[in-house]
Structure 1
Amino acid sequence: MSRVGKNPVPIPAGVTIELKGQHLKAKGKRGELQLTVHDDVSVAKEGEALVFKPRTESRRARMQWGTARNLASNVVRGVSEGFTINLEINGVGYRAQADAKMLKLQLGYSHDVEVPIPAGIQIKAPKPTEVEISGADRQKVGQLAANIRSLRPPEPYKGKGIKYADEKIRRKEGKKK
């Protein structure tokens, strides 16, 4: 039994769900997202919740059961609340500046690094050392945050680089005399 899959996905007020076979379409205040549920899993709308069940008792169907439920939960939460990831920039002279289409980063290279902002995602830089990425699609928000972090990952000696706001960097001791 999937502990995750047997929990129904509650549909909050203001979110409309359309089910056509294995296609799930959700509309809310943050936008519209689609999901195609795996063929081994059946999805049904019961009241104000989505219920998932495996079609067979095969191992693959049971694996897809919890996955499909979580993906649908992310779609519903994305169109109602959205997802946000905060990044921190540490280092002398390291800073970020965001406008409508580009995120400009100064990361100690000989040139500024420019990251284009994809459609459906908003990036804010409330301070020069903080970046806030938000959007409805959890996968896109997380992938963009990982791509920005990979431009200058934090190093263990001085802690310089880009890190997630809730990430702890294990520091190492430097050289001894």
Structure 2
Amino acid sequence: MSRIGKRPVAIPSGVTADISGNTLSVKGPKGTLAMGMSDLIDYKVEDGAISIMPANDSKAARAFWGMQRTLVSNLVEGVTAGFTKTLDIKGVGYRAAAQGRKLKLQLGYSHDVDLDVPEGLEVKTPDQTTVEISGIDKQAVGQFAAEIRRWRKPEPYKGKGIAYRGEYIFRKEGKKK
């Protein structure tokens, strides 16, 4: 039994959920998100909440149960509050600048790295060493943050690179004479 899946997802005021065909769509103050529904799970919108239950007693349905509830919860949270990931850039000469729908990174390569910001996301650079990615889709925010981080992962000796805010970088001791 999924302990996460048992709890229904509460629908706050100002948010509407609708099931049409094989799609669950949630509309709120920040926008609209939709998700394809699995055949193994039953979704019901009732009493100001979305309840998720396995359609049958198969192992696959029980395995999907908790994950599907979390995905529905992410839809509701995304249209009400949204999601934000913050990246910190550490290193001499490493910097970032948001320019319209592009993000320009200087990461010690012979060239600047120019990334196009995907639709539905907003990128801000409060200072040269901080990048804030925000949007209503949790998966899209996390994916773009991972793509930025991939250009210079934090290294263990000096800690240089792009790290998530609050991420612990395991540090190693350098060579000894």
Residue in structure 2 matched with residue 127 of structure 1 by the alignment: 127
Say if 2:66 is the partner of 1:48. Answer: no
Any idea what SS the aligned residue of 2:134 has?
strand
| Corresponding residue SS for 2:70 | helix
Aligned counterpart, 2:33: 33
Which whole-Å deviations, capped at 9, do the CAs of 1:56-96 have from their partners, x for residues lacking one? 11100111111111111101111111000000000000000
Alpha-carbon distance in 2 for matches of 1:14, 1:37: 23
Cα distance in 2 between the residues matched to 1:21 and 1:122: 31
Asked if structure 2 preserves the Cα contact closer than 8 Å seen for 1:125 and 1:131, the reply is: yes
Share of identical aligned residues, percent?
Answer: 54
Equivalent-residue separation in structure 2 for 1:63 and 1:21 (angstroms):
23
Cα displacement string for residues 82-135 of structure 1 (whole angstroms, at most 9, x for unaligned residues): 000000000000000002210000000011001100100000000100000000
Give the structure 1 partner of residue 17 of structure 2: 17
TM-score, length of structure 2 as denominator length: 0.98
> Bigger shift: 28-37 or 133-142?
28-37
Who is 2:5 aligned against?
5
- In the alignment, is residue 117 of structure 1 matched against residue 117 of structure 2? yes
Residue 175 of structure 1 and its aligned partner are, at CA, apart by: 1.1
Alignment length, in residue pairs? 177
Determine helix, strand or coil for the equivalent of 1:5. helix
Task: Return structure 1 stretches of 4+ with deviation > 6 angstroms.
Answer: none
Structure 1: which amino acid aligns with 2:24?
Answer: L
Could you tell me which runs of 5 or more consecutive residues in structure 1 were left unpaired when the two chains were aligned.
Answer: none
Equivalent position amino acid for 1:136 in 2:
I
Match of 1:176 in 2: 176
Output the CA distance in 2 between the equivalents of 1:102 and 1:168. 28
2:153 corresponding residue in structure 1: 153
The residue that corresponds to 1:86 in the other structure is 86
Check whether the contact 1:30–1:81 (CA below 8 A) recurs between aligned residues: yes
Give, as a single letter, the amino acid of the residue that structure 2 aligns with 1:90. Answer: K
Q: Do 1:33 and 1:75's aligned partners in 2 also have CA atoms closer than 8 Å?
A: yes
1:22 Cα deviation (Å)?
3.3
Q: What 5-or-longer segments of structure 2 have no aligned partner?
A: none
Q: CA separation in 2, counterparts of 1:6 and 1:43?
A: 12
